[in-house]
Structure 1
C-alpha cells in the first residue's frame, strides 16, 4: 500500500515543482516588463531642429541658455543659465541661486558639465555638438517662438505641463485685454507708435519681435508703426537710422530706450525737440535693462508699465 502511494506522490511532487518554477519565471518576466515600461515612461522622444532626440519626461536639472522665463512660469527652475539671463530685470530675484554658465552663446562647457544636467535648452545651435555630448539638448532657434502663446505652448508640451501653460496664458490674455481696453479708450485707433533706441552715435527702429517695447506695443496693444516705414520695420525687425531721417521713423508716440538720458534731455535736443511726439509730451524714455527683454513675464510687466503711462495722456 505504501509502495502504491509513492507511485502517486512522486508525479504530484514533480507537477508542483514545475508549477512553482513557472510562477517564478512569470514573476521575473512581469518584473522585467514593468521595469522596462517604467524606464520608457521616464523618457520621451521629441522632434527638434536637430531631429528626434530622447529627453526625460520630468527633468530635474535643466541648464537653459534661453527661455528661462517660460520655465519659471511653469514652475521649472533651471540649475544653470547665462549671466545675461541672471541679470534680467524681471526675473533676477527668482534666479538668485541659479549658477552662471558664462556668456550667452558661449557657455563654459566645463561649468555645464559640473552642473550634471539631464536636459539642456538653448536658442543657439552653434554649440549643439558640444552640449549634446553632456545631456539631451533641445535647440529652439532665436526668434522661432514669436510670442507668449507660442513659447508657453511649446514648453508646456515639452515638459508635460500643458495645463499649467494654458492656465497661465488665460490669465495673461485677460490682463492684456484689460490693458488694451484702457488704452483704446484714450488713444485714437489710428495713432502711430515708434519703437526707437538711442545707441549713442546712431539710432535704431524696431519691429514687433526684437525687444525695446515692440512686443507690448505692436503685439499686445495692437498698435501700428508709422505707415511710411511700417513694412520695412516689420520685415527687417530692426533698422539703423540717422538723425536726418529720424522724422520719417517717428510716429505720434515714441517708446525710446536710452540709458542715462531723460525726456527733458530729448526735449532740449534741436532735432528731437522738433518732433511732434516730443512736443506733445508723447515720448516715453526707459533704460535698456527694462526694455531689452521680451519673454512672457517681461512683456506682461512692460504692458502694464506702458499702459499706466499712456492712460495719463490727453
Structure 2
C-alpha cells in the first residue's frame, strides 16, 4: 500500500504480494525490508540487496522504533510516537469526541473484538447521544486500518473530523 501513500515516502517501492523479484531487481535497491519469512524469498531477495525480515505483526511502537533503527532515524521514530501518544483518545474522553454520528472500526483480531464488545456493553458507550439515537456506523478495520504509521496518522486526523470534534 505504500504507493498509494507515497507523497510522504520517497525512494520506497511496494513489491506486491507475492513479491515481484523482477521489479525488485530493476529498482536496484540499497536495502530490502520485507515481512515475508519464506526462506526461498529471503534467499532470492538477499541476492539483490541486503535484506531485513521485519515483524509486521509487532505492536506499532516496536515496528516504528525498529524501522527507525534500520534506517538510522530512531529519534524521528521516537518523536513520531510521542506525538501519536499525545493525540491518542482515552476512553474517558470519548464523550468529548463523539458527535451525533459515530463510525466504528470493527477489528479482526479476537482480543480487539473482545475489547470492542466490552466497550459496546459499557455504560459510557450507551450514554453517548449517537448510540442512544442509533447513529453508529461500523466499518471493517481491514479496509480502514492498514496498521502502519501513516494510516494511523491519517486516522488521528480524519476521525476527529468525521466525528465533528476539533483537534
TM, length-normalised to structure 1: 0.39
Q: 1:108 aligns with which of 14, 17, 20?
A: 20
What's the secondary structure of 2:29's corresponding residue? coil
| Equivalent in the alignment of 2:79 | 167
Mapped partners of 1:95, 1:187: distance in 2: 30
| Equivalent in the alignment of 2:44 | 130
Q: Which runs of 5+ in 2 are unaligned?
A: 123-129
| Equivalent in the alignment of 1:283 | 137
Mapped partners of 2:70, 2:62: distance in 1: 12
For residues 206-285 of structure 1, the aligned pairs below 5 Å read 206-207=108-109, 224-227=115-118, 251=120, 277=131, 280-285=134-139
1:86 paired to 2:18 = no
| Equivalent in the alignment of 1:305 | 158
Displacement of 1:173: 1.9
| Equivalent in the alignment of 1:235 | none
Bigger Rg, structure 1 or 2: 1
RMSD: 4.0
Displacement of 1:124: 0.7
Q: Which runs of 5+ in 1 are unaligned?
A: 1-83, 197-204, 231-250, 254-275
Q: Which has the higher strand share?
A: 1
Q: Which has the higher helix share?
A: 2
Map Cα deviations across residues 29-65 of structure 1 (whole Å, 9 max, x no partner): xxxxxxxxxxxxxxxxxxxxxxxxxxxxxxxxxxxxx
Displacement of 1:94: 3.6
1:155 paired to 2:67 = yes
TM, length-normalised to structure 2: 0.67
